[in-house]
Structure 1
Amino acid sequence: MEYGLPDRLDPLVRATGTSARMLLYHFGTRDKLLRAILRQARQRQLDSFGELLRIRPDEVYTATLARAWSAMTGPEGRPYLRMFSQLRENAEQSLWPGFRRIATTDWLQPLETGLRSIGRPQSATLVLAVIRGLLMDLDATADTARTDRAFHELLDALSPAGDVSPSPHE
């Protein structure tokens, strides 16, 4: 996670304490090694972010989303975002065909389930699109305060009348 998808094997060699030759022997090719890294990282991300998005009986879902946003964009979530943003169109096709579609649609169900708890299941695509757009914005500008404010504005629009969700900074 620390090195993302390196262009060369050197960071992986240092991180694993083995040689490039042993890595290639074990995985067969550089691409197979990178695919294994991606699959492992993706499973960790699904587990981590999935837990963040699950419904909590004692919490309105907009508060859950606020906490999830803070974790996804904070130190715990940034390595995943950095790694998966490295998958460019041509790299995606060779390393993980269809990744962008899968990495988008697999978040719809957890969001729909959570948003159903506040009567807004139909907003899952909107929420996902805003999250993805803000994550790309954050990656490009590193303007955490602005993207946090925009996400909080979305939460305010989703909140049931009279319910105020906490700021993503809280």
Structure 2
Amino acid sequence: MGRRPQPDIRERLLDACTDHALAHGLPDRLEPFTRATGASARVLIYHFGTRDALLRAVLGQARRRQVELYGDLLSVRPGEAYTDTLLRFWTSMTGPDGQPYLRLFGPLRESAEQRLWPGFRRVATTDWLGPLEEGLRSLGRPDLATLVLAVVRGLLADLDATGDAERTDRAFRAFLDAIEPRAADGQRAPAATSGPSTASRPSASAAEDPRGAL
């Protein structure tokens, strides 16, 4: 009777491959993953089946990490204006914590073939609408979710093309001020919520079925 892949070993290999992909991007060959894991290509194929299956699993694992990182940032916080919540979300996404995800998922969003992730561009466009609608409901404007997402995606494309973080940050702050102007004391009204947010978060169920990203 042949040996079966062991889930704990597979998970350790997947974590190491995901760390490498977030730091360096998806490799064209298995060799970078073998160096990152200390395992042979044969061992990786044994646990994941094919190279493409491993790449899809890596994308799914990276997606789960991104959901964990950004999920709480998009949730309504009692006593905090949701526009301030969105500013923290933007700052994290464009900062050191978020850049690895933008680098990893960006090429997939631009790819017309989408071989590893069929339907990626559609999912990446709609994936965050639920959490944004829930958060913006605290301002009485859940209808702004599509606009907010479009502004975020547009400014991310601008930042990627120009590297001008100061200008794009200033533009996003101006957009937030248009949504909810500050009072005379410079403060925004706190979010109107009676309890912890129940914002729906993007699902990241299976490594082989990763969801979209900003």
Aligned match for 2:149, one of 128, 137, 147:
128
Aligned match for 1:96, one of 117, 124, 143:
117
Aligned match for 1:11, one of 32, 51, 65:
32
RMSD between aligned alpha carbons?
1.6
Write the distance in 1 (CA, Å) between the matches of 2:31 and 2:166: 35
Write the distance in 2 (CA, Å) between the matches of 1:7 and 1:74: 27
Write the distance in 2 (CA, Å) between the matches of 1:57 and 1:160: 19
* TM-score normalised to structure 2 length: 0.72
Q: Does 2:29 align with 1:26? A: no
Taking the TM superposition and a 5 Å limit, the aligned residue runs for 1:43-58 are 43-58=64-79
Question: Which amino acid is 2:144 matched to?
Answer: S
Higher alpha-carbon deviation: 33-42 or 153-162: 153-162
Rg (Cα) greater in structure? 2
Q: Report the alpha carbon displacement of residue 98 of structure 1 after superposing the two structures with TM.
A: 1.0
* TM-score normalised to structure 1 length: 0.89
Q: Specify the SS of the correspondent of 2:23.
A: coil
Seen in structure 2, the aligned counterparts of structure 1 residues 31 and 91 have a Cα distance that, compared at 3 Å, is: farther
Q: Does 2:152 align with 1:114? A: no
Question: Which amino acid is 1:10 matched to?
Answer: E
Q: Report the alpha carbon displacement of residue 161 of structure 1 after superposing the two structures with TM.
A: 5.7
Seen in structure 2, the aligned counterparts of structure 1 residues 91 and 11 have a Cα distance that, compared at 3 Å, is: farther
Structure 2 partner of 1:168: none
Unaligned stretches of 5+ residues in structure 2: 1-21, 189-214
Question: Which amino acid is 1:143 matched to?
Answer: D
Aligned match for 1:71, one of 88, 92, 112:
92
4+ aligned runs moved over 3 Å, structure 1: none
Unaligned stretches of 5+ residues in structure 1: 166-170
Q: Percent identity?
A: 64
Q: Specify the SS of the correspondent of 1:2.
A: helix
Write the distance in 1 (CA, Å) between the matches of 2:112 and 2:181: 43
Question: Which amino acid is 2:89 matched to?
Answer: A
Residues matched between the structures, number: 164
Post-superposition Cα deviations, 1:88-115, rounded to whole Å, max 9, x if no partner, equal 42452x1111122112212001111111
